[in-house]
A and B are shown apart, each in its own frame.
Chain A
Amino acid sequence: MAEARDLFKEFKVQSVSEFFRRNAAMLGYTGKIRSLTTIIHEAVTNSLDACEEAGILPYIRVEIEELGKEHYKIIVEDNGPGIPEEYIPHVFGKMLAGTKAHRNIQSRGQQGIGISGAVMFAQITTGKPTRVITSTGGDIVEAWVKIDVQKNEGKIVKKIKHPNPKGWRGTRIEMEVKDVKYVRSKQGVYWYLKLTAIANPHAHIELVEPDGKLIIFPRSSEEIPKPPVEMKPHPKGVMVDDVYTMAHRSKKSSVKRFLISEFSRISEKKIDELIKYITALRLIKKEENKEIKEKLYEKLVNGDVDSVLKAFGRKWKKVMENVEKIMEKPPEKLTWQEAEEIVEAFKLMKFLAPPTHGLRPIGEENIKKGLMGILKPEFVTAVTRAPKVYSGGIPFQVEVGLAYGGEISSSEILRYANRVPLLFDAGSCVITSAVRSIDWKRYKIDSFDTSPLVVLVNVVSVHVPYTSTGKQSIADIEEIYNEIRLALMDAARKLAFYLGGKYRRLYQIKRRKTLEKYLPEIARSLHILTGEPEERIREYFLRLIESKIEVEEVEGVEVEEAEA
């Protein structure tokens, strides 16, 4: 017995650290450059989320100090609401448990693994705790946090309290990590922060690079985005595990009450329909004649549940009574099998489209501000599409921004999911393929690859369908692909209109120059022919040109001319 218990303990101890090791890739800790980006991502995301929820305009400073070969000190500081002292160990020390993991909410983070994963990474590469300095307005708490791997809990190694005479609020974390590398590449911290700044124009973000260089991505919008709202899951979007787990956590009196209150678009009437569908499914499963079975199933798929029931004569009433019993029992008594039946029925039933109030797009104005503020283009436009649904019940929304010319020198696709920049796996991402599928020539862009054009695409959803656990590329789902294309074409039309106008204006200026160039010759000749003084003839022609050619002096045109 004792031996078995020891073994079990051993097993448990390893499971958490093993989890982290095995799932390092899933959490973003693969490769030296990417691991560093992931740590920054987790910290910055926490800061942004916290500021949003507290209604604070974020000020985030990231410092990266090189301590040795592939050995860095990372400091991330924000002006957020701060962390209450008693939550520090939970926030930084507990994996797989956070404030959002169990809620159906659009979120940036990795749902509870985030920053504790970073603390863990620091710990296993340097053995050092993470230093957290935070204040919610009162005393400043300085704490060194480690993760107790055995208990999967945060442990404060050392704690000092400081007075806070200036009333500072916020959080600063400092950690030492090894096996990472700072490189200014498209997958590095610099690029990540730049893209984050574009998608979060309300944030002021600073970066101090290892060589001491300070880079500022200034705030370009004063508007704090509303924090995401929790949305009840839509029946079409849930998996068996969701229903099972939610039921067991529910405090409602019956399965029926649980379903009505915790899912969207489920009413009393829908419960009656659900009962009929589950009954029908049970009956069909028992049918032995394969042909009849298939026929009946087809009927059910077509929504004709009543005729399926009738096909079984009186038999169905008894089966239905059993199904009704499921609905009346306490939710914690719901079995896995029953949850399976419910989800199967959901798939066949029709529901109203899910609500979309929980989606939080960046918004056209803010995309424009973000692109304008960070990239300094000559033209910018954005399109936020209305929410749509994929897989029958998962709401999503697509938005697109285009930035052209100005300080932009090459083409770029900036991919985002819920405002989080996606830096890896671009090739397999639906955003990439949608952007590539556009015939840019139709929009006055001769070649996408050689144009000074930045395309931003943000896919917003409670469940972004990533292609892999790395969460760096979005799966090729037809509905999403089509929405991205529509948004791109809409925005590209605006770009084409701008470019058209620009060329028109340039043409007018060239035309005017051409005509004016010939004026001295014309005036001289007409003077010889008519005797009218040259100067007067020139004035007549200039007046004519003035009246017939409108030249709008527009920004950018000057630049073009100077370059030409």
Chain B
Amino acid sequence: MKLKRQKPKEKFSYDPQKVLKKLEDLAMRILEDVKAGKNPYFDVPTRGLNNVYFDEESRLIKLGDRLSKRYFLNVAHARKFMQTLILMAYIKRLVSEGKHASLREAYYANKHTIPGTKENTFEDQSESDPIIEDLERMLGVLREEMHITADRRGYIYGDIVIKDGEDEFNASKLGTGGWAVPGTVEHIQFPEVNVDYVLVVETAAMADRLIEEKYPKRENCLIVATQGQASRGVRRLIHRLHYEEGLPIIVFTDGDPYGWYIYSTIKRGSINLAYLSEKLATPDAKFVGMTMDDIKEYGLENVTEKLKGIPPDKKGGPTGDYKRLIEEMNYPWFQDKEWQRQLKLALKWGVRIEQQALANKSLEFVAKEYLPEKIREGKLLP
């Protein structure tokens, strides 16, 4: 099987005017309600697992339609009602001025004492962050589109030309460190794409190894290092590379419940950000490894690690990795024969296998044999 760039499915669509309009419409509705003597409110989609479902058609974790109303006249809601409006006004200014602020900046910029009281508009960042998430869900607009960014994590390496503001550069000409993915990738454009696919790698160590072995050049692919759970910027970038540039996505993580969940998040979306799945997830992504089968296939029995925690058949169990495995087995989006088999094997053997374990064979093994062989032969998990 030869991986090839496909036709784009989606066009880059960020339009700050749309965000502004949504903010203003919502504010107008509030104002009209008050003018009409009605108790103004926000419809806030409910958080948590009980308002999340797996949509079989799109194969995505999606947000349910449960709403909670945030009323001005309710004393328990009034403070949050005020905070929501304060942040809406702040975001309006950010977007119209074309400036970006981090979550922490957004908090400090709006933290001040309410006139005539000893009370602050925001006591803590833990008060402002959830309001921003609420706004994302209410408006159906990404935080990044509202010019509020999170810490950057993850990097990209490979023959692709990126346009970031005034700057244009090739991500394979920035040294071995590649290009760090910013908190928001909404404004980024890709004038030139010279690769066939994207290899998403969990650990930076493995990504570094592959770059050193010139894997991206040889295989004509892009390396995206997530550095643990993929940040929103990285997930959005992967999504865009797939939908806007037609690049197939292959994910390479450790063979353990944590690594597999990183893959699941990239592919299906996450419970916390279920309302953003359509913008962050990439259901077509495939999984190259590590799998439990790899252990036998490549003779890695000696370099496995024991699962942490207490197995389900032991007293006090299951805990730790075991518990996580069982949870994953029960998620509707893990109800796939292949995946159930992997999860069961992990449970049965009580082991996990890291990406770096492949170095046991040789440093070049992963770049020259393991990955090319598996990808060529299509030994990928759905």
B-binding residues in A (CB < 8 A): 510-511, 514-515, 517-518, 520-522, 524-526, 528-530, 532, 537, 540-541, 543-545, 547-549
Contact = CB atoms under 8 A, between A and B. Distances in A.
B82 A530 contact: no
A528 B89 contact: yes
Contacts of A526: 27, 30-31, 85, 89
A541 B35 CA distance: 8
A511 B78 CA distance: 10
Contacts of B39: 544, 548
A520 B86 CA distance: 11
Given A515-B75, A537-B31, A522 B37 contact: no
B72 to A, nearest CB: 7
Contact of A548 (B73, B85, B114): B73
B86 A530 contact: no
B168 interface: no
A529 B116 contact: no
A548 B33 CA distance: 14
A188 B27 CA distance: 71
B34 A518 contact: no
A547 B35 CA distance: 12
Interface in B35-49: 35, 37-39
Given A525-B27, A529-B88, 11 more contacts: A514-B75, A517-B119, A518-B79, A522-B82, A525-B88, A526-B85, A540-B34, A540-B35, A541-B72, A548-B39, A549-B73
B121 interface: yes
Interface of B: 23-24, 27-28, 30-31, 34-35, 37-39, 72-73, 75, 78-79, 81-82, 85-86, 88-89, 92-93, 114-117, 119, 121
Contacts of B85: 521-522, 525-526, 529
A518 B31 CA distance: 15
B136 to A, nearest CB: 17
B116 A517 contact: yes
A530 B121 contact: no
A236 B115 CA distance: 77
Contacts of B78: 514-515, 518
Contact of A530 (B24, B79, B116): B24
A520 B27 contact: no
Contacts of A540: 31, 34-35
Q: Among A521, A543, A545, find the residue whose CB has the most chain B CB atoms closer than 10 A.
A: A521
Contacts of A525: 27, 82, 85-86, 88-89
B33 to A, nearest CB: 9
Contacts of A514: 75, 78
B31 A532 contact: yes
A308 to B, nearest CB: 75
A101 B73 CA distance: 70
A515 B121 contact: no
Contacts, number: 75
Contacts of A518: 78-79, 81-82, 114
A520 B85 CA distance: 11
Nearest to A521: B82
B27 A521 contact: no
Contacts of B38: 544
Contact of B89 (A529, A537, A543): A529
Contacts of B23: 529
Q: Among A511, A515, A524, A530, find the residue whose CB has the most chain B CB atoms closer than 10 A.
A: A530
A276 to B, nearest CB: 76
A521 B121 contact: yes
A52 to B, nearest CB: 55
B89 A547 contact: no
B239 to A, nearest CB: 30
A529 B27 contact: yes
A528 B78 CA distance: 19
Contacts of B30: 526
Contacts of A515: 72-73, 75, 78
B157 to A, nearest CB: 42
Contacts of B31: 526, 530, 532, 537, 540
Nearest to B73: A548
Contacts of A545: 73
A528 B93 contact: yes
B102 to A, nearest CB: 21
A340 B80 CA distance: 84
When A and B form their complex, which 6 residue pairs have the shortest distance between CB atoms, in order from nearest? A529-B27, A525-B85, A528-B89, A525-B89, A518-B82, A540-B34
Contacts of B119: 517
A459 B31 CA distance: 64
B37 A543 contact: yes
A517 B117 contact: yes
A529 B89 CA distance: 6
Given A528-B92, A530-B27, A520 B115 contact: yes
Nearest to B91: A529
Nearest to B86: A525
A541 B34 contact: yes
B223 to A, nearest CB: 43
A543 B73 CA distance: 12
A174 B195 CA distance: 121
A384 B23 CA distance: 65
A544 B119 CA distance: 23
Contacts of A548: 39, 73
Contact of B37 (A510, A517, A521, A547): A547
A518 B119 CA distance: 10
Nearest to B24: A529
B41 to A, nearest CB: 12
A535 to B, nearest CB: 14
Nearest to B35: A540
A515 to B, nearest CB: 6
A520 B114 CA distance: 8
Nearest to B88: A529
A511 B79 CA distance: 12
B114 A517 contact: yes
